[in-house]
Amino acid sequence: MTTAIPTLPRLPVPDLHKTLRGYLKSLEPFLLEEEARGGPDFKNAYDARLKLVEDFEGGLGQLCQRRLLELDKSSPHNWLDDNIWLKKAYHEWRAPLIVNSNWWLALVDDPNVPGDVRNPSVERTGYTRWQVRRAAWLVHRVLDFKAQLERNKIHPDTTRTGLWFRHAALQFYNTCRIPQHGCDHLSPLPSAADPHARKVLVMAADWMYAMEAVGHDGSPVNPATLERRLRAIVHDVQTRLAKGERAVPVGVLTTDDRDRWAENFHHLLSLSQSNRSIFDTLTSTVFALSLDDYAYTLPPSHRTPDKDLAAHLHNIRSGHGSRPGHNRWYDKPFTLIVEANTRAGVLGEHSPVDALVPSVAADYAIVQGVDDDAFPESVESGLLGAQVDSDTTGWERLDWVTDDRIAQECDHAAIRAKEIVDESDVDELVFTGYGINWIKNEARLSPDAYIQMALQLAWYRTRGEFTATYETALTRLFKHGRTETIRTLSADSRAWVLAMADPQCSNVKRLELLRRALQTHTALTRQAATGRGIDRHLLGLRLMIRADAGESHALFEDELFTRSQSWKLSTSGLSAGYQFRGTGFGALYHDGYGI
């Protein structure tokens, strides 16, 4: 009996008429709100947009749709991912990656780490024994996840979900974003014979090292060997610091405006052939590990219910508050971060893959705590001193050749990074009143839609207005599917929020309106997940307009077209179990939220 190998369908080009009608529907809450605040009459304003839509659909829109269908036919996988998404969503953005684009995950504590290590009675700086052990264990686990994936042992390609996940998960290993003027790109995957493809980039005190971490058969190096090599690297760092040496923090340049970083990047490579070799090594490494010689704490003036949690989130997102951006390479898609007290997390450049996918790898890494049997020697609490048994093989320094210009640019980039970080807070509400089980089983409502409505109400109560709201939907039903937008703000969500704000409205009416809003949101979610969303299609249609041939349309020049996509409330669900203390990404606007 032959078992059919599953395949994933191509992401469809949505129906033009349905997309434009969906777009009109999404404008209703904005137009209703304008009318309620003394602006244009709803019907007149709606009819004006209807006229734009009908004109586009009957003319230039048909031509754009045909061009999009032709593009799809000539694309190996799908029209969006092959041609548009990386460039328009990520690589053409010139804004710094720190806060603005990278995602982060704060991992739960390892229960096998002694309490006096995780919560020392006296704060201290320096690398610790348990920090290095946990780092070695996490590196091994992430590499084991990759090996199991490549061998089809987990998430096998015998299922459609496995097909989608396997392709997606292998995108964040062994690559790096490369800065270029106007539009960045990703480094090509190294060949199987490339020895650097079996290494991990290690950063400590702004110095960089390449550590051999994968065997020739693709299996991860055992945790004890990784620990010895990390100890040796830390010992090398300590020796250099003791001599008064300080690294030029080249990694800080990756936090800068992308065009400025591109300019400095090309200058850096021009200084020495060895810099080109270092960069080739860096891009080929499987992923990165940052060892921080501190456990970050928030200043006393910072108000938050859980200072340890908030400090953890801050450090994973952007590093030490007084010197953000140090000891990181923001262009790497997956960076493990381990602090001196063993707090750990992951930071990732967003373009190769969406955060849910690497979060599964992180979940695999921490679901099993440090295994004492994997290490022949017990480890004590305390700082890591000189190691006479350090492994002198299996790792190498990556020492950049720099000049005064690069050193000065690092200083300036660090100042700009601190300005960005100081303008953006990160915190978390731990709500214990009820959760998904109550919402599903008792209230019998959709948890995702329920929480989205809560966010709509919270925004309105604190701002007194409504805003365009983005929620991510994964298009994982399709080959190389990425994401689509769910426009959470709808006429129905607005009606419910206003009912909650009206003291004369009964709870019976409020519940009725809530159910209607939830049904609308669930329908929008289903459409987005099944390739029938509107925003990626609108983007594709707009890009098919040939401005150089004099083509344009007022539909895309309407201020409401822009305002309806100004996501001051940007949200993304990341449900990967109990292994994360917190997750996050930055707000798109200074007066917005990334949730």
Per-residue pLDDT of 164-184, as tens digits, reads: 999 999 999 999 999 999 999
Q: Is the pLDDT of residue 360 over 80?
A: yes
- Cα separation, 278 vs 274, in Å, equals 6
pLDDT of residue 131: 97
Mean pLDDT estimate for the chain: 95
| Rounded mean pLDDT, 140-162 | 94
Prediction pTM value: 0.96
pLDDT band for 1, please (50, 70, 90 cuts): low
In the numeric block, which tokens belong to residue 329? 């390479």
> What percent of the chain is modeled with pLDDT above 90?
91
pLDDT of residue 315: 97
Q: Is the pLDDT of residue 4 over 90?
A: no
On whether the CB atoms of residues 168 and 353 are closer than 8 A, the answer is yes
In the numeric block, which tokens belong to residue 404? 């005064």
Q: Is the pLDDT of residue 6 over 90?
A: no
User: Where is 473: in which H helix or E strand?
Assistant: strand 469-474
pLDDT band for 382, please (50, 70, 90 cuts): confident
Dihedral pair phi/psi, residue 400, rounded to 5°: -70, 145
Count CB-CB contacts under 10 A for residue 355.
22
pLDDT digits (tens, 9 = 90+) for 438-496: 999 999 999 999 999 999 999 999 999 999 999 999 999 999 999 999 999 999 999 99
Q: For 298-363, where are the E strands, in sequence order?
A: 335-338, 344-348
All residues at 6 or more sequence positions from 459 whose CB lies less than 8 Å from its CB, including other chains? 466, 467, 469, 569
All residues at 6 or more sequence positions from 27 whose CB lies less than 8 Å from its CB, including other chains? 46, 49, 560, 564
pLDDT digits (tens, 9 = 90+) for 287-346: 999 999 999 999 988 889 899 999 999 999 999 999 999 999 999 999 999 999 999 999
Q: Is the pLDDT of residue 388 over 60?
A: no
pLDDT of residue 124: 75
pLDDT of residue 381: 86
| Residues carrying an active site annotation | 350
Q: Residue count of the chain, please give it.
A: 595
Enumerate domains of the chain plus CATH numbers: 16-86+430-594 (3.30.559.10), 100-423 (3.30.559.70)
Task: Give me the sign of the Cα torsion angle 71, 75, 81, 86.
Answer: negative
pLDDT band for 389, please (50, 70, 90 cuts): low
Could you tell me the CA-to-CA distances from 533 to 67, 174, 472, 490 in Å, in that order? 19, 32, 11, 14
| Rounded mean pLDDT, 391-395 | 87
pLDDT of residue 390: 61
- Cα separation, 446 vs 268, in Å, equals 52
Q: CA angle, corner 105, sides to 103 and 107, nearest 5? A: 170
| Rounded mean pLDDT, 563-575 | 91
Q: Is the pLDDT of residue 3 over 70?
A: no
Which residue has 């007084």 as its token pair? Answer: 322
Q: Is the pLDDT of residue 17 over 60?
A: yes
Distance of CA 258 to the CA centre of its chain: 17
Name residue 473's beta-bridge partners. 484
SS3 content of the chain, % helix, strand, coil (to 5): 45, 10, 40
| Rounded mean pLDDT, 232-246 | 96
pLDDT of residue 457: 98
> What percent of the chain is modeled with pLDDT above 70?
98
